[in-house]
Structure 1
């Protein structure tokens, strides 16, 4: 039983560790690694939390004390509730993707650029329907050629590196595990930083100017959008980072540690789910109460 409690606690400890990491650590050092590795870690952690809660609930429900049984059903209710939230998020994302797919249909080529007549200066990437970069006539008129190129390259980077997939992965993980909610903003900022660096590989000053000018142009707008845009993330940190040299790739030791953690928590999840299966539907010849020993 003690071993079960230790294993069940590990996913929650990992959730807290990821949440803590988002605070003091500046992801400007390796935004590409952050935007790809952290969402996978978050997803594996959220799945492990689900497995942990389910296994403990099954053990409590199978026990004798009424208060333990009640606690077990309460935990199952929490899991169902968080799963419903995650399902609702998926439905909203699918609906939004269908609406945005029309822009991709208007693009001349896959991942092409669509110019929209609008008085609002804006640019964003649409991942659905083959992908497209949408930019308004107001923003085109306000930027220089070099700045406009930087904005378009920034949005294309979101498509090229599938940032929407990774940001939605961590969003979905946070829908189930609320401890991971701060990680969402951390990953979204890293996605913007990664796209900034991609746009700045030829003209760093133009990329910095484009980010600063775009956010000033949009300062009066009170829009809330789930799309990845050139004004997302912590803009002050983004502009400051573009005044410095490009960040170095993540250290190999960091990548290896992340991969080991992902494998370990995947294994822990399977072990915890096996405990639940042993209690709920024990195999032939297996004592369903053996987990308490």
Structure 2
């Protein structure tokens, strides 16, 4: 267990460095799905490893071992997890859990606010044009979602660019990109190492919508022009663009990608990522199995110790020994 429990942590660290770089070389849709799967699997592995390290270390505290009826010498002999490592793991897990709860509350409020905004928008169609001279355009997730565009933005674009802009925002709604964003924000709250991956995921979503818009209007150059003009028209004094906005992400890189040929399929990086995620799952499963066996052995060792010194027999302890077969084995031996 001492080695396998660290495998998910190591895989998380490697993918945190490599995944954002590799994602920019993949087709945007594949990159978004790959980053989502990576965030989900590595978060489970990260949390499970921290929990196992914290538990197997804290279980060696005499007071805790007495409650669980484990043999401390047996635990230390088979899995010497230092108490410092256990405390750090427990602290990281606690901080991540609190951060996750706060992020979940923020995301829930954000989605509820989006639904209320959708209901307040004028008109019943998918497109809502607001009478505002400030140029802005974004997709507002809801049931159903709405595309919000200001008259100021519409005046900045010609007919073809407007069509490209609306196709971009429609792709966000059709692909339910807000769910990807929610997943990345929650996993990054639980595991801070995944924040670069979440940033790369936001860029992949914008590129995904760009490619969908290019396929819709039939011209990558028109979409590039629309993205560039929309970004230039947006007020620099405004706060950060709303979620799923056409002006979000690294606009120069998006325009450069649209002016280049479509990204090819690259199965090799995806296959490598799948192998690393499989290694993460196998490591966590192996560590969990070893932890269960470790505790069983420690309980049997404690039962054997208590039967060796039966000066003050503990009925509950004897029942536990019977459950593990220790008492029965000794009775057969002495019989």
Bigger Cα displacement from structure 2, 9-18 vs 172-181? 9-18
Query: How high is the TM-score relative to the length of structure 2?
Result: 0.75
Q: Does 1:229 align with 2:245?
A: yes
In the alignment, what sits opposite 2:280? 265
* Contact 1:103–1:134 under 8 Å retained in 2: no
Q: Does 1:212 align with 2:228?
A: yes
Deviation for aligned residue 1:178: 1.2
Structure 2 Cα separation of the partners of residues 171 and 226 of structure 1: 15
RMSD of Structure 2 on Structure 1 (CA): 2.7
Structure 2, unaligned runs of 5 or more: 64-80, 301-335
SS of 2:236's equivalent in the other structure is coil
Structure 1 Cα separation of the partners of residues 105 and 241 of structure 2: 16
SS of 1:129's equivalent in the other structure is coil
Residues 47-104 of structure 1: per-residue CA shift (max 9 Å, x gap):
1111101111111112258994465244223212101101111111110111111343
* Matched residue count: 280
In the alignment, what sits opposite 2:14? 17
Aligned CA distance change for structure 1 residues 236 and 26 (closer, same or farther; 3 Å): farther
Residues 128-177 of structure 1: per-residue CA shift (max 9 Å, x gap):
32222111111011111111111111111112222221222122111111
Deviation for aligned residue 1:262: 3.6
Bigger Cα displacement from structure 2, 49-58 vs 216-225? 216-225
Residues 112-143 of structure 1: per-residue CA shift (max 9 Å, x gap):
11112222211111223222211111101111
Aligned CA distance change for structure 1 residues 80 and 205 (closer, same or farther; 3 Å): same
1:61 to 43, 58, 62: 58
Aligned CA distance change for structure 1 residues 246 and 138 (closer, same or farther; 3 Å): same
Alignment map for 1:88-99 (pairs within 5 Å): 88-99=102-113
Structure 2 Cα separation of the partners of residues 275 and 88 of structure 1: 33
SS of 1:133's equivalent in the other structure is strand
In the alignment, what sits opposite 2:159? 145
Structure 1, unaligned runs of 5 or more: none
Aligned CA distance change for structure 1 residues 29 and 258 (closer, same or farther; 3 Å): closer
Structure 1 Cα separation of the partners of residues 281 and 242 of structure 2: 29
Higher Rg: 2
Query: How high is the TM-score relative to the length of structure 1?
Result: 0.85
* Contact 1:61–1:70 under 8 Å retained in 2: no
Alignment map for 1:42-121 (pairs within 5 Å): 42-63=39-60, 68-69=82-83, 71-105=85-119, 106=121, 108-109=124-125, 112-121=126-135
